[in-house]
Structure 1
Amino acid sequence: MTDHFATPVDRERHRLLAGESRVRVLEALRAAPAPLTILELADLVDLHPNTVRMHLAQLVDAGLATGRREARDRPGRPRLVYDAVAATSEEPDAGPDDESSYRLLAEVLVNHVEQTAPEPVAEATAAGRAWGRTLAREPSAPPSAERATADLTGLLDRFGFAPHPTDAGRTIELHRCPFRQVAEQHSPVVCGVHLGLMQGALERSGAPIRTGALKPFVTPELCLARLEPVPTGGDGRAA
């Protein structure tokens, strides 16, 4: 059995792990005292087994996990179990210094916007909207509200927001803020960027929904993004 680690995953080195749910799967494997089945992992990380299966396939392809049939001495088909691959000594350690550097950069940029922009929140939201438009794909046909919500959830997961759609898709819970330490001191600007990111991504896709509001820190660990239909004109087109 390979060695296990309970330490956080290096997201910068393994860009595959930009999605928060994939990070949780790998961290659960690394912390486990023995290999795990898909159902055991799904229960640990609170994800659907099919989602866990997809993440495991990507982790195995990237050489970060292995899957095998367990040896057993009783009748029945051996279970398929997964284990984390031990980090090699050659892997560079992106430690707290990298995280501190990114936080410092974010604070410098946020302070600059606050001190120089006539309307800092509007400026931050516009920057986030432009960013979101570059990240989203322009489909051949406008997506349904359900598809647009799923695509937006996937985008937010890539950037570590730990999103979870609720209220029949009208709300997306954000259980993690990637810039929390900066956002706690500069919430209007940082949250403006995040609101704009969602708005831009939905606009780019031609979705029939938009992000109407972002409510930050409803609890210390939760923000809420409210989705609403895009207003239409008398001809049925978006106003």
Structure 2
Amino acid sequence: MNLRSLASGIGSLSDDTRRELYEYVVGRGEPVSREEAATATGLRPHKANFHLDRLVEEGLLEVEYRRLTGRTGPGAGRPSKLYRRSRQEFALSLPPRRYDLVGDILAASVTRASAGEPLDAALQDSARDHGIEAGQAAPHDDPASIEDLTSALAGQGYEPGEEDGVLELHNCPFDALADRHRALVCGLNESYVQGVADGMGCARADARLEPGDGRCCVRVHRRE
């Protein structure tokens, strides 16, 4: 989900009426009808319907249709439109942070290590595999260019920019963890970025661990 969609979805809850309806629906723990939501919040049904549908458009709620009487067949009546919390997750961080990705990498590393792989190798292999998966999923030409890699890393929150032929990553998506566990996280970062390049088939990209102030510890050089 892009920044505009995230901001729009979360921003819709700044409206007091929509926020009250949203909190009521998710607090019920089961699908809610327009009439029930309207009664609970003191709104007219048509007004509740308008705001509930806007929450659906923003991806915060989902709709299902079901007969509340339990009856089926002819004469059972039309199914009711019910609202429930969306399965879609919203998380907005500025600058971008990807602590969920670190969690996935560490969990995969533990699984590998439990199967007998040395822990250091498991960490680097898991980070690279996650990078390869992200690189394969990113739009790119065949073969991929450094420009393709730049776009892919931008989508991962690295805020890349080329300076003197080297791709600088101006943001570390794992910043707080890197501050506390620098050697571990920076090593994972290097393997992940190289994995993204390898997954895209960007053979000219060479990710190197080159720490610097105010940026990611990894820089990407061009292979000749």
Provide the TM-score with structure 1 as the length reference: 0.45
Answer with 1 or 2: which has the greater Rg: 2
Answer 1 or 2: which has greater helix percent: 2
